[in-house]
Amino acid sequence: MTSRISGLAALIAMSASLAVAPVSLASAETVAFDGGWKSVNFRSIPKTKYGFGGGTLSIEASKSSSVIYKPVPEASRDATNASWNWSVQSSVPPTNLAKKGGDDRNIALYFVFTDQKTARRAGKNPNIKSLLTKRSSRMLIYVHGGQHGAGSYVPSPYFSGRGTTIVKRGAGTGSFSENVDLAADYRRAFGTEPEVLVGLAVSSDSDDTGSNSRSSLSSISLN
């Protein structure tokens, strides 16, 4: 009898342990490619085509450039890590990502941060387009493209020290899964601790080189 009781107690303890284990996994937030994304287009430049499909975004750039953006849910604004998958079927040529007007890339994934005060004022549905222009905002820009080596940190030529491009994959084709430490990358890029993650943006451009790119982005997760 004693052995049965001991065995039952062990089973109960194991079940309790298993019951609480998923809690840490539930903190990861998957970002959907749905109607919540808005676009920024540029005068006299054709628009890059984005196809929204729930968990996957298809991208087709043909001598074009445009940006799409979406607020991050409040529950994920303290995220310090991110992961995603991306695939490139046809690539733009290698370019200098530090050169304004000559920095075509297959995919750029932006993580937009701002200070606590600005984030509170912006509320639940911040205007990411507006926040991109504020002096208090900072951007980590993970890129598939360019002529730089993987792991390079390149100051963005567009944001006056507020944006840093991090090259994950150079120009070329292929499918890859990425996992990044947002907090560590932010500290290296800007020398301070990250504040509030308020938005995401995606761009793909091929207008400078007059080329074409076909790619996709999927399974963005924040935790």
**For residue range 15-60, what is the model confidence (pLDDT) as tens digits?**
333 333 333 334 688 999 999 999 999 999 999 999 998 899 999 9
Query: What average pLDDT does the structure give for the chain?
Result: 88
List, in order of start, the domains of the chain with CATH numbers.
29-222 (2.60.120)
* Mean pLDDT within 181-198: 97
Buried b (16+ CB within 10 A) or exposed e, 86-112: bbbeebbbbbebbeeeebbbbbbbbbb
Report pLDDT for 27: 62
Alpha-carbon gap, residue 150 to 30, rounded angstroms: 25
Alpha-carbon gap, residue 54 to 145, rounded angstroms: 25
How does residue 185 score in pLDDT terms, banded at 50, 70 and 90?
Answer: very high
177, β-bridge pairs: 85
17 residue type, one letter:
S
Q: Which of 159, 116, 114, 121 is nearest to 136 (CA)?
A: 114
Report pLDDT for 20: 34
* Mean pLDDT within 102-131: 91
Res. 194: pLDDT tops 60 = yes
